[in-house]
Structures are given as structure tokens and as C-alpha cells.
A and B are shown apart, each in its own frame.
Chain A
Amino acid sequence: MNALYALFVVILLLLVAWIGIGTVNLHILFGIVLPYLAFAIFVLGFFYRIIKWAGSPVPFRIPATCGQQKSLPWIKNSKLDNPHNAFWTIIRMALEILTFRSLFRSTRAELRDDQRIAYGDTKWLWAGALAFHWTFLIIILRHYRFFAEPVPGFVLFLQNIDGLFQVGLPVVYITDAVIVLAATYLFIRRVFIPQVRYISLFADYFPLFLIGGIAVTGILMRYFTKVDVSAVKELTLGWINFNPVAPEGIGIMFYLHLFLVSVLFAYFPFSKLMHMGGIFLSPARNLANNNRARRHVNPWNYDVKTHTYEEYEDEFRDVMKEAGMPLEKE
């Protein structure tokens, strides 16, 4: 049901853009105002969310340790999974963020007939998630060709690598295919794995459909309906130079694409997509496990009512005396 709602909303968004550009001719709105607005919401919203998180302290150092601690010199410390200093914590975080090590570790529990559980490796979610995120990143970086003039060398390099197979014209990018496949996989597992379907919210389907819609409109634009790329870059450079003009005749597909992107940007800070920023702030991962070597300070550490030894001895002095135990006060 949530999936249907989400699909419905994305279709509605497409219709809005379709009508806005196709019949009402709101090029300024969809080509300039909304993209600016969306970007502003994205950046400010992102800042707002991070600062809101940062406003709460990390009172305790609570890394989840996933390997041998650093203790005695002859016991091999698992530096990556149980880092004892900032350097290895950064490496742990970097590998987590760049390679999704925790997902890679995943197992699939299976109940056997003889009343036991077996664990199989499952790399599908890891592979799907990694493919999805990396292709997304490469695609975003490739889009810098529209925003930077002259086109930076790394963008040309990425394009060359991405179009390595030189199939079709314009050259088919591997990432274009992969992101559609990966998003489809992520959607399918959400629908077909009963447990995952059970926990899935509207907010889980909507970004998938939105990103899927962005990918599909982008692909249609590049390979099928075509678009005057130079005109697009005139528009995008206009944004960057704060002197935008919305050239007409770029084609409706571009505006559908742009509108969905605008929605994604504006939606981003208010959604689970903020895991992009949040992962950096996860205390279970971003702290070194050196608790006993370096004291962690809790800014709100307040005094509590304790039971002192004096009170304890006062209560039990007689029995302690009888048992011949040393006392502070006879």
C-alpha cells in the first residue's frame, strides 16, 4: 500500500511538471525558481539537521567493537574493527562509508528442520546498495560537466571510464544501466522479502521511485528523446553565475528530469536520506575504543544521590564488628 502511494505521488509530480511546462509554459518557475529553491532547502536543511544533531552531546564513548581490543602487546589488536585511536577510527569510518563493510558482514539465518539455525553468506544487499550509491555518486559527478566551464578533467575521465564499452550513440554509460538495475533490486527486495515489506514505510518507497524516475527521465533524455545539450548548459551555467535565463525549446523531458531532481533535493533534509550526514555522527562507529586509556568527558555529568561507605558502615557496624572486620569508626 505504501509502495502504491509512493508511486502515485511520483506520477503526480511528473504530471505537475508536464502540465507546468507542456501547457502552462512555466519555464521560469520550473527552470529557475524551483531549482534554486530546492538547492537552498537542501543546503540549509542539511546544515540545520547536522547542527541539530550536533546540539546534543555524546555523553559516553560507546563504540560497538567488532574485533579484538588493544590490550596486551602480544595480542593482535583488530585495528580496523576495534580501533584504539583516531587514525584507525577514521579508516574504519572511511571503509564503512566507502565500502559498506557492515553490510558486507551480513549473514542470512535459516531455520533448519532439525531445529537449528544455519547462517549463509548474503552479499546481495551489500552489492545492490554499493552499486546504487556508487553509480549515483558517479552520475552526480558526471553532471558537473553542466556546471563547470571548462569541463574539469576528472569529469571527462569519469565519462571515458563510464562509457568504456563505446556502445551506442551517444555512448551508453555503464552507470545509467546499473543505477536502474540497482534501484529495481532495492525495490523488489522491499516488496518481496516479507520482513522488509512489513517494516517499509511510504518514506522508504518514495525516494526509490523518485530516484528511479530521475534515472529514467535522464536516460530517455540522453538516448531517446534527445535534448539540446548546449542550451541545457546555458541554463545551468546561468544558475551558477546567478544570471539565469530559461531558454525555451530544451524539451519537456529535461523539465521532468529537473523537477524530480528539485523535489529530491528539497525532500532530502527531511527524510531518511540524511543518513548521508548521519553516518558520520554515529557514536557506535565514529569513536575509538580507548575508554580505559583516555577519559571521555560527559558535559552533563551531574551529581547523583549515592550511598556512601559511612552510611553503609553506620547501618552494618554491629554485624561487621561481630564478624571481626576492620571499621572506620569503632
Chain B
Amino acid sequence: MYDAGKIIIGLVVFIALVSYPVWYDAARGDIPTSVDPKIVTTEKECVAPTEYMKANHMDLLNQWRDNVVRKNIRVYTAESGRKFEMSLSHTCMDCHSNKSEFCDECHNYSGVNPYCWDCHIEPEEEQP
């Protein structure tokens, strides 16, 4: 007894599972392969370099929150020496006011669900 049929079914299931993303993506056709978060501002300089912010912004925001809420420290001095108010709603959202095109762009892309908006009110956006 070889049970060839059952083994073939097993192998099909195996290949289906390991190739799941391929046909999942294929079924959705034209999917974005990269992200392009939009920044609408005249400001030339962020609180930290872009490369750092890409990977570490959540840490920075976390520090800010702790400093403001627990230690009552409200001023952040950037490496350039420039001072910023530690505030998501004001400082960050001043430049990155378009949550859906900026924040969500990457967060949705990589399946991240930050809990910023559990407390903060989502900024109102003009419907395009």
C-alpha cells in the first residue's frame, strides 16, 4: 500500500501553505511594492534624521510621552540644538498632518497598529 493519493494531497497542502503569500498577492493583482509616505510641509528639518526616524520614531514618541506625562518635561532639544515642544498633536502633526497618507501608509503596509489614537484624537482630514 502506497497511499499515493493521500500523500499527493498532503504535498499539495504543503505547497499551498508555503506559497500562500504568492497566490494571496497575485490574487490582489497590482499591489504596492513600496511605500511613499507624503509630507505636506514647508519645514526643512525634523526632530531627528529621517533614517533614524524611520526605524525609531516609536521610541522617541514613547520617551516624549513619558517625559511629558510623568516628569513634566516638555521641551526636546534636537541634535542640531533646536528646541521642540514634545507633542504629538502639535509638533509632529504640524508637519505630518495627513495621518492617512503619512502614518497609515507604512503602518498598514507592515501590519502595525499603534495605540497613539487610543488617547489622542485623530486629526481631521479634508476628504480629497
Contact = CB atoms under 8 A, between A and B. Distances in A.
A binds B: yes
B3 A58 contact: yes
A156 B113 contact: yes
A240 B1 contact: no
Contacts of B117: none
B18 to A, nearest CB: 6
Interface stretch (B20-28, B68-76, B87-95): B20-28
A170 B58 contact: yes
Contacts of B112: 170, 229
Nearest to A149: B31
B1 A155 contact: no
A244 B82 CA distance: 40
A160 B113 contact: yes
A152 B11 contact: no
A118 interface: no
Contacts of A281: 7
A237 B10 CA distance: 27
Interface stretch (A42-50, A102-110, A185-193, A322-330): A42-50
A80 B20 CA distance: 32
Contact of A249 (B20, B51, B111, B113): B51
B106 A230 contact: yes
A42 B15 CA distance: 11
Contact of B28 (A149, A233, A299): A149
B110 A50 contact: no
A156 B10 CA distance: 27
Most buried by B among A42, A46, A243: A46
Interface in B1-56: 1-4, 7, 10-11, 14-15, 18, 20-22, 24-25, 28, 31-35, 51, 54-56
A111 interface: no
Given A43-B15, A47-B11, A169 B35 contact: no
Contacts of A145: 110-111
Interface of B: 1-4, 7, 10-11, 14-15, 18, 20-22, 24-25, 28, 31-35, 51, 54-56, 58-59, 62, 106, 108-113, 115
